[in-house]
Amino acid sequence: MKIHEYQGKEILRNFGVPVPRGIPAFTVQEAVEAAQKLGGPVWVVKAQIHAGGRGKGGGVKLARSREETIAEATRMLGMNLVTHQTGPEGKIVQRVWIEKGSDIARELYLAMTVDRVSGKPVMMASREGGVEIEEVAEKTPEKIFKETIEPCLGMQPYQARNLAFKLGLEGTQVREATKIILGLARCFMECDCSIAEINPLIVTTEGNVKALDAKINFDDNALYRHKDLEELRDLTEEDAKEIEAS
């Protein structure tokens, strides 16, 4: 089961992962009110669909004024957003996420999934954040760092620190990233995820580390253990045949 970015960020926040402040909006008026509540001077208007590549498709835009927020929310809500993951048919945007802007110094990548060979969870990290990780894996696989996790032990602090150092972080950033990595690992294990991804994980110009995006998918076979997570399901984003099959 897939969920929206803003829902994933709320889950990550519950596991101690810092994320930018934001508010979901289903109408243009709600988007304007969200921007006012968050405070400026810059906001990010992000279309919420179950697909990646939203930025290239025009689904992620900066807004530097109330007027720009109105313009972007008006354009996105109801639009048919086509990305490389939606296929040519695209997806209709029914909600947007209004987020307080972040000053970005570096973009990194962090994700946990299950290794198909070992059958064990693996945490992956890369200095190449903000791009398609499949492209990095294909062209420069040496830029992806991995730590295999023993399911009975969970991710160990030393493994998280190893990845933080390999990401080129220093000082307090290592401590912040270690906490984030361990939080992402706990989220993955405790919520029965099939993937938990932060792309990008950013370092701000002030030197703080936080999750600028969140992609969390859950194992459908384990949803019976998580009724609260099942409530996050958005049937409008799913194929009718898949809904019937489930």
CATH number reported for the structural domain that contains residue 54 in this entry: 3.30.1490.20
Question: What range does the domain containing 60 cover?
Answer: 21-100
Tell me the pLDDT tens digit for each residue of 16-31: 999 999 999 999 999 9
Q: Which of 50, 71, 100 is the last residue of a domain?
A: 100
Question: Looking at the domain assignment, is residue 117 inside a domain?
Answer: yes
Confidence of residue 203 (pLDDT cuts 50, 70, 90): very high
Summary mean pLDDT of the chain = 95
Distance separating alpha carbons of residues 206 and 105, to the nearest angstrom? 8
Total domains, the chain: 2
Same domain, 93 and 139: no
Rg of the chain in Å (alpha carbons): 18
Residues serving a catalytic function are 109, 197
Tell me the pLDDT tens digit for each residue of 23-75: 999 999 999 999 999 998 999 999 999 999 999 999 999 999 999 999 999 99
Q: Is the peptide bond before 20 cis (omega within 30 degrees of 0)?
A: no
Q: Is the pTM of this model over 0.85?
A: yes
Question: Looking at the domain assignment, is residue 8 inside a domain?
Answer: no
* Average pLDDT score over residue span 137-150: 95
Same domain, 42 and 148: no
CATH number reported for the structural domain that contains residue 154 in this entry: 3.30.470.20
Confidence of residue 148 (pLDDT cuts 50, 70, 90): very high
Question: Looking at the domain assignment, is residue 4 inside a domain?
Answer: no
Query: Is there a contact between 234 and 243 (Cβ–Cβ < 8 Å)?
Result: no
Say whether pLDDT at 237 is over 60: yes
Question: Looking at the domain assignment, is residue 245 inside a domain?
Answer: no
Say whether pLDDT at 229 is over 90: yes
Same domain, 95 and 108: no
Q: Are strands 121-126 and 104-114 parallel, antiparallel or unpaired?
A: antiparallel
Q: How many CB atoms lie within 10 A of CB 8?
A: 24
Same domain, 79 and 159: no
Question: Looking at the domain assignment, is residue 91 inside a domain?
Answer: yes
